[in-house]
Amino acid sequence: MENNCIGTVQIADDVVAIIAGLAATEVDGVASMAGNITKEIISKFGVKNLSKGVRVTVAEGSVAVDVAINVEYGYTVTDVSVKVQEKVKTAIENMTGLNVTEVNIKIAGVEIDK
């Protein structure tokens, strides 16, 4: 098969982080993404940061992802974590073609519905 490559494609780390953040928030039991105080203040002023709570390390076609989430009260933390890992890995690999080597989950808090 001939390779008709006319250039390179580079995917910014922020794009991968946005994909991971969106995928994580689609999982039942994830109340929100966790983030630092600066990002929380920015989001209150209307600048939505979809990569909040996500750190991505891309090296030679592979990706390591750290995701910080807040879990909804009543959900099993381990079940939610495994589902987030699977969803994030699948989303990144399908959308970018990069190989996801690890998805680390940090439970930053538990949110109670008021």
Number of domains in the chain: 1
- pTM given for the model: 0.82
Q: Please name the residue that has the structure tokens 């381990």.
A: 78
Q: Tokens 């690999």 sit at which residue?
A: 93
Instruction: Give the model's confidence band at 3: pLDDT under 50 very low, under 70 low, under 90 confident, else very high.
Output: low
Q: Does any domain span residue 30?
A: yes
- Whether residue 6 lies inside any domain: the answer is no
Domain interval for residue 17 = 13-111
Q: Per the structure block, which two tokens stand in for 58?
A: 């891309």
DSSP codes joined into one string, 63-79? EEEEEEEEEETTS-HHH
First to last CA, the chain: 59
Identify which of 57, 41, 59 has the alpha carbon closest to the alpha carbon of residue 49.
41
Interval 57-91: pLDDT, tens: 988 889 999 999 999 999 999 999 999 999 999 99
CATH number at residue 53: 3.30.70.1350
